[in-house]
Amino acid sequence: MVTIDDGIIASYRRLVSDLQAHNHYYHVLDDPRISDVEYDGLMRQLLLVEKQYPQLIKKDSPSQRIGGAPLPEFNQVQHTVPMLSLDNAFSVEALRDFDRRVHERLQDSVKVSYLCEPKLDGVAVSLIYKEGMLVQAATRGDGATGEDVTANIKTIKSLPLKLMSDLPPRLIEIRGEVYMTRQGFNGLNVFVKERGEKPFVNPRNAAAGSLRQLDSKVTARRPLNFCAYSVEQYSDYGSPDTQWGMLEYVGRLGFRINPDISFAVDIDACESYCNSLFTRRTLLSYDIDGVVIKVNDLQKQKLLGVLSRSPRWAIARKFPAEEAFSQLVAVDFQVGRTGAVTPVARLSPVFVGGVTISSATLHNADEISRLGLHLGDTVVVRRAGDVIPQVVRVVYERRQKNSSLVLFPKFCPVCSAPILNHPSEVVARCSGSLRCSAQVKQAIKHFASRGAMNINGLGDRLVDKLVDAGCIASIVDLYDLTLPTLTQQERLGDKSARNLLNAIEKSKRTTLQKFLYALGIREVGVNCARLLAKQFTSIEEIMAARRNELLSIEGIGPVLAEHIQVFFADPKTYEIITELQRKGVHWPLASVDEVRDISLHGQVWVLTGRMESMSRGEARNVLQALGARVSDSVSSKTSRLVAGSGAGSKLKKANALDIPVFDEKQFLQFIADT
């Protein structure tokens, strides 16, 4: 065995300690102290030392999160304390009945306080720590017996392998939820689609599937998070006597605690919290299906006891169902800006997820094939949060006799051009290009959008009318529009037409970044346009850029580089750009410099509430384009909060921490100024 110098041991321990601390800052506190590049450098140093001196490796080493050899199967785990399910309350009356039962059993007329927490739509797990070290992780299973998923749990960076305490309890069992944020889920589906694999249906299924991988290296690549919500076994004396106090203690041990948890003085406050969270659920970064309400006093929890399958001291206030039955009336095939043909199901109106749904996405031809859809089928429709409604499955038992199979078209429903299927893509595309009026309409709408040329007053319906009437056939034609042409359009008066012409004229002065984004190059969003504008000083340089030049830009990969080159290699592109410049579209060199100088690099911004003038995604893109990191939670490191209507706990916390706040009007002015 190689003798290890004391200096190497001390250096290794510092590396482990530093990496553990930075994991906690980034994944739990949402407050990174070093860049990703610096973190990767520390990890490489650690792996190098461990390769040379494997006897140094401990169970809490950050290297153990990378994943190990595949397991032949999961072992069974018997839960010392059963993992019970919760009774559900689907109405205010049921919630008040729960409160009445609590008081009756306690024989206490004094108001009982509660703790309210979002009911994460994930996978419940139990974590056991001995002497501060994680020794076992298990799924809920049937409540009495679960599966040992320790190897996979260790890959989740938002939970500690070693408790952050100099005097940890000899034994403690932490329970919580493994889940995926919507952003992580969407990113994962993009990844699996690029690999030609079947996308996941929803974040919960993705989290469950990731946690049950026999190869923990696969789990390590999945964007899983962990949020603690209770303690079951605790060996030491002096533990907190309330649910709230216990969670604060668990937070000090290094676990993520949901920032939206709230103390409620009585059942009325619980009801108010549920109503507030229901209105904000689409603004959360994760899926929820209700609120868990627990008696806050742990001694009262013991007095209340448990039933065979559920505790008497807790209940789940469930939100309206996010799945419902409907009937497939028809299937439309919509053509997008890049020619992508997307099938859309037209449904008998059904109330689901708090809104009435009459249409849902069918994604692509593969999804239609998977579902085996027939016109008139009874289908299950899902709407989770702000996700576009989708058809989950067909109820085959209710299929009508002699119903016709839904087939994906071979020709564009708009221009009749052949629909092509590229071997490397799931999406089918119309080959009509600029001959297809649907693609022309979408290209013009994108060109005029807020993040692009920002032509105020050129709405979607007006674009449709102008294209259908033959007034415009490309983005170039926008700059030839006249007052007589516009005033001929239905419901467009003289004043509105003049305002639109002024907006078109104003759009001629722009920046290289906005112009690139406005062109609608496939896969080139706000961030990619910013990267190109930073790297190159002119549109001519970008048009002439070679593949290796594009690939040298961090954030641009082979696929994106190919899309950029193909776009600019088309003679039609050169013609359009030249014509736009001839009509006065320009971006002074000073504007390019401004894009580089006006940077929010290093700043952390938070968005909360509902914005009327743009979506949260658009606001996030704008901030990221300026170099800011957009976080989902407020902390002492937050640079500024943007508060839309209905802002709640995040705004209160920002005010308490004296963090600068923009309302929507101030934020829009800030964007305009930059």
Dig out the tokens for 437 from the structure: 């009026």
| Spatial separation of the C-alpha atoms in residues 232 and 18, rounded to whole Å | 30
Asked if 620 and 628 touch (Cβ cutoff 8 Å), the reply is no
Catalytic residue, candidates 59, 111, 119, 465: 119
**Residue 615, phi then psi, degrees to nearest 5:** -80, 165
Provide the 3-class DSSP secondary structure of residue 16: helix
Determine how many CB atoms are found less than 10 A away from the CB of residue 350. 19
Q: What span, in angstroms and rounded, lies between the C-alpha atoms of 462 and 147?
A: 58
172 conformational bin, left if phi > 0, alpha if psi -120 to 50, beta if neither: beta
Q: Are 292 and 261 in contact (CB under 8 A)?
A: no
Strands (E), 26-120: 76-78, 88-89, 114-120
Contact predicate 309/82, CB 8 Å: no
119 noted as active-site residue: yes
| Residue 46 neighbours by CB distance under 10 Å | 20
What's the number of CA atoms in the CB half-sphere (13 Å) around residue 393? 6
**3-class SS letters over 209-260:** HHHCCCCHHHHHCCCCEEEEEEEEEECCCCCCCEHHHHHHHHHHCCCCCCCC
The bridge status of strand 262-264 relative to strand 629-631 is unpaired
Distance in angstroms (rounded) separating the CA atoms of residues 476 and 17: 59
**Amino acid making up residue 341:** V
For 453-459, which contacts have Cβ atoms below 8 Å and span 24 or more sequence positions? 453/507, 453/510, 453/514, 453/515, 453/518, 454/503, 454/507, 454/514, 455/500, 455/503, 455/504, 455/507, 456/499, 456/500, 456/503, 457/496, 457/499, 457/500, 457/503, 458/500, 458/503, 458/504
**Angle at CA of residue 434, ends 432 and 439, nearest 5°:** 80
Active site residues: 119
